[in-house]
A and B are shown apart, each in its own frame.
Chain A
Amino acid sequence: MKQLLNKPLRAFAGYAFLILLCSIPAYYYFMDYIWISELNEHNRIIAEKTKYNLNAIANQDSTLAQTIGLWNKLQPNTDLQPTPTIQPDSIYNLYKQKPHAPNQDIDRFQGLVTYFSIQGQPFRFRVETNVEESYETILTITGVTLVFFIFLVLGFILINKRISARLWQPFYATLQKLRAFSLDKQQSITFDPANIAEFEELNQALSSLIESNLGVYKQQKEFTENASHELQTPIAIVQSKLDLLLQNQNLTQEQSSYIDEANQALARVSRINKNLLLLSKLENVQYARQESINLSELLSDTVLLFADYAEGKNIAINTILEPGVSATGNKVLVEILLTNLILNAIKHNVDHGSIQIKLSPDRLVIANSGTTTLLFDQLFRRFGRASTHTPSTGLGLAIVKEIATKHNWTICYEFQGNWHYFSLILTP
């Protein structure tokens, strides 16, 4: 993921590159233009001077041809020749081999051809001056531009870093606090005052959002708690009436079975209710007490508790418990967690199936035989249906997950070779 400040940095660098790139031909054009116009002027001065000087010295007819011959020999870049007519001046630019150079060296020249008469005789005068080659100019400008571009980008990066470190510091502080925030803990956040208006606004908006969320969350919890409590009494009444009905001497077998089924459904309602209550109270002070728990003992006690039930369902429980494994946590909750896991393994087992419970210092693995894999994303959700199997409260594993999270443990599920593996990883 890109950092926010790196985005404008890229745009800035790109823009700077574009502008500097465009500047290369512009510089070249202007520099060359200045060069050429200066040289044209220079050539013109030489031509004027030549014309004037030759007119001054060559006043005798006999020496004119000789002087011109000598001129042409001594002045390397000029050429003076008689011509039949006077024509308009012209300028040109050409590349040619440097005369008398030891190795092949192409040079660029700016030339001027002008016509004037010396003692009434028309002459054609050509002067060429060496000028810097275009490619050399372009190369130099490009090199210099590139160096400046590098400096520019380095500067951008440096400034960017300083800005993000200083300017965004309150933002990161806020982010840190938000990360540590959890609705469950019921603790609101106090943000440090930021000296930037936008961040201060953000903090204020977050604070009020969190406050209202905490309020809603608390209300919802209280609602669940109250609703569950209020339900217990009517359930108790129905239960007592069913118990009374059972005492009737004249019950037919069919009627008895109705009562039995009603009893079962009622037990489920009652369990759902208790579980909801537990979930809503998990974060309450009553479960805040932490102590060192001997997991090995607790686990074997819990297994013992279910020995009857498992036997009744023809399910064998094998345990490999390393002795003396302990963990810090709330004993009541850990008991509930173990109970729920083992109970699940018994309930959702195959006929004559078995359960493997293995405890080592860093993890507890409870495996039970099964036929198909369970839907992972439904497994730990409240009222999630991970399989179409036996009816349940749909809260058992949600409670397991909540308790594990509360203790900073991780619960994982895997299906391998017809075994369901539930692993509780004790090391955070």
Chain B
Amino acid sequence: MKLLIIEDEPALSKSIAAYLAGESYLCEFADTFAKALEKIALYSYDCILLDLMLPGGSGLKILEELKRQNKADGVIIISAKNALEDKIQGLQIGADDYLAKPFHLSELTARIHAVIRRKQFGHSNLIKQNELEIDLLAKSVQVKEMPVLLTKKELDLLLYFIGNKNRVISKAALAEHLSGDLADMLDSHDFVYAHIKNLKKKLHEAGCDSYLKTIYGVGYKWEL
């Protein structure tokens, strides 16, 4: 899958590429407005990560250009501006998602996953992984063809883990995923533990292999 990272900070784009390295992603970079315009005109991408403040112009212009060319590339805006109007404007022009800096790479990865999935399969898609099967439309989970009842948050976590498989995810990142913008105000992320414990228990009881590993003192990892 092809990914374009439009970001003027090389340190950040390199981090993103490095994090995604194990997956079947092919990352390309554009660090200026002009380069970005050139790339989107020449190629198609499964997902474009778009910074709004670029040397040479606004990222929103690139988004408009994409829509003008009727491109179906998925777009996730990554911006230092967390202003509501930017978010609304970006989504109105046609971005698929909006992620404010700073973010956890695991969060970004989960969102890239979600965008690509939507683009490729529409909404009626199934995620299969050995004995585990998730129907995203019905929001249901089956293990060995037997349904497992998960709460909304547990399902959310499960998708997050699968989107970040084989990566260590910190508790802070999980807390942020679960409680959104509030996470960095919370001084303890213990509540994450309760949800993970339940998820593990339910999957285990349904006969699912224990893919979810606890990395002591750090976080969790979905190991395949």
A267: chain B residues at CB < 8 Å are: 172, 183-184
Interface string of B69-81 (1 = CB under 8 A from A): 0000000000011
- Asked if B19 CB lies within 8 Å of chain A CBs, one says yes
Do A343 and B185 contact each other (CB < 8 Å), given the known contacts A312-B191, A312-B193, A313-B190? yes
- Asked if A305 CB lies within 8 Å of chain B CBs, one says yes
B100: chain A residues at CB < 8 Å are: 232
- Asked if A162 CB lies within 8 Å of chain B CBs, one says no
- Asked if B42 CB lies within 8 Å of chain A CBs, one says no
Interface of A is mostly: helix
A308: chain B residues at CB < 8 Å are: 153, 178-179, 191, 194-195
- Asked if A65 CB lies within 8 Å of chain B CBs, one says no
A256 touches B217 (CB 8 A): yes
Interface string of A381-397 (1 = CB under 8 A from B): 00000000011110010
A16: chain B residues at CB < 8 Å are: none
Interchain nearest-CB distance for B13 vs A (Å) = 9
- Asked if A51 CB lies within 8 Å of chain B CBs, one says no
- Asked if A347 CB lies within 8 Å of chain B CBs, one says yes
A237 touches B168 (CB 8 A): no
Which one of A237, A260, A286, A339 lies within 8 Å of B182 (CB-CB)? A339
B193: chain A residues at CB < 8 Å are: 312
B168 touches A246 (CB 8 A): yes
- Asked if A425 CB lies within 8 Å of chain B CBs, one says no
- Asked if B26 CB lies within 8 Å of chain A CBs, one says no
- Asked if B114 CB lies within 8 Å of chain A CBs, one says no
Which one of A236, A271, A347 lies within 8 Å of B80 (CB-CB)? A236
Of residues 309 to 335 in A, which have CB atoms within 8 Å of B's CB atoms? 309, 311-313, 332
Report how far A305 CA is from B100 CA in the complex, Å: 21
Interchain nearest-CB distance for B206 vs A (Å) = 23
- Asked if B11 CB lies within 8 Å of chain A CBs, one says yes
Do A244 and B105 contact each other (CB < 8 Å), given the known contacts A309-B186, A312-B190, A313-B190? yes
Report how far A229 CA is from B82 CA in the complex, Å: 9
- Asked if A58 CB lies within 8 Å of chain B CBs, one says no
A390 touches B187 (CB 8 A): yes
Which one of B102, B181, B190, B216 lies within 8 Å of A236 (CB-CB)? B102
Give A contacts to B, CB under 8 Å.
Answer: 229-230, 232-233, 235-241, 243-244, 246-247, 251, 253, 256-257, 259-260, 263-264, 266-268, 270-271, 274, 277, 281, 286, 305-306, 308-309, 311-313, 332, 339, 343, 347, 390-393, 396
Pairs of residues from A and B, 9 with the lowest C-beta to C-beta distance, nearest first: A240-B15, A312-B191, A232-B80, A236-B102, A236-B101, A308-B191, A312-B190, A267-B184, A243-B105
Give 17 new A-B contacts, CB below 8 A, not counting A233-B101, A243-B170, A274-B82.
Answer: A232-B100, A236-B80, A236-B103, A237-B11, A237-B12, A241-B11, A243-B104, A244-B15, A244-B105, A247-B19, A266-B102, A274-B184, A286-B85, A308-B191, A309-B188, A332-B84, A390-B187
